Amino acid sequence: MNRKKTIIISLFLVLIVLTGCAKENETIRLGSMPTYSAAIYAVGIENGYFEEAGVTVDLTVFKSSRERDGAATAGELDGFMTDIMGAVNMNVKGFPFIMTSREWEDFGVMANAQVDVNAVNPLQIGIAENTVTEFIADTYIQTDVEKVNILAIPDRMGAVLSDVVDSGVFPQPFMGIITGKNGQQVFTTASKDFHPVVMVFDESYINENEAAVKAFYEGYKKTVEYMQSTDYNEYKSVLVSYGLATNETVDFYRLPVNEYGLNAVDEKAFDAITAWMLEKGVLDTSVSFTDVCTTSFVNE
């Protein structure tokens, strides 16, 4: 065998070894509620943007924050979407999930069509105690209110629509569903430039898989660009297949794609929420923004 042929065979064998040893994409076990922003994860997975960036995203959509938080504390999630209050609570309970970016999510106070919100005193308002929904009721509703604790969002929506309570605090898409059933909008957080929803990642996962988190955000940005430049009808079926909408409701969704983007956590919202938590006794001691938040993935 001549020297040239030997070199070619050797190179071929090296290629085979390198191919066989190529590392598979790191997997991120991601959790979310069925909100508007979750469409970004679903569309990104379906279109392969996360894979192209170098990470596999395994998305679980939870029906309640209690289920999602239970999965997180059981070590079943590497990252998930929550709100600032939820993230702070995780950390003070010994589960260091670090806030890495904010999501554009609108919360609103919605009322039954038959309620004259200006005449009712006090205004009954359905909330989940010690959550961002109660913070919104305490902070932004100027009239006297009677808070009614209704933990599950579907139950709260049913109570409003059946006139059991006058109003309630809701995220999207529940605001849109209530509007579609002739409910009325009293207030939205978007009007106050208040952004309490965040993405968090387990601190140890960040330390051990920083490249995977960077790849996640690269895929995220590609997905947002696609959604902003593509007609909703081209990808709306993904929302149904991932349980974010139904065949009956998907055509009524109005995703705020022009508001989507990679943004740092809202420090003003953090300060307001943690101050409220301290005042309410939900939080025993102050929490530093820099201890539970990083900007390294949004400033690159």
pLDDT tens-digit series, residues 98-141: 999 999 999 999 998 888 888 888 999 999 998 999 999 999 99
Q: Is residue 14 predicted with pLDDT exceeding 50? A: no
Of 254 and 221, the one with more pLDDT: 221
Q: Which CATH number fits domain 26-105+195-292: 3.30.230.10, 3.40.190.10, 3.90.1150.10, 3.40.50.300?
A: 3.40.190.10
Q: What is the pTM of this model?
A: 0.86
Average pLDDT over residues 52-73: 94
Residue 22 — very low, low, confident or very high, per pLDDT cuts 50/70/90? very low
According to CATH, the topology of domain 107-192 is D-Maltodextrin-Binding Protein; domain 2 (3.40.190)
**CATH code 3.40.190.10 region(s) in the chain:** 26-105+195-292, 107-192
CB proximity list for 152: less than 8 A, separation 6 or greater? 64
Query: Residues 228-235: what's their mean pLDDT?
Result: 98
Q: Which residue has the higher pLDDT, 4 or 105?
A: 105
| Residue 34, preceding peptide bond in cis (omega within 30° of 0) | no
For residue 18, pLDDT over 60 is answered with: no
The pLDDT, as a whole number, for residue 21 is 46
* Residue-wise DSSP of 127-161: E-TTSHHHHHHHHH--S-EEEEE--SHHHHHHHHH
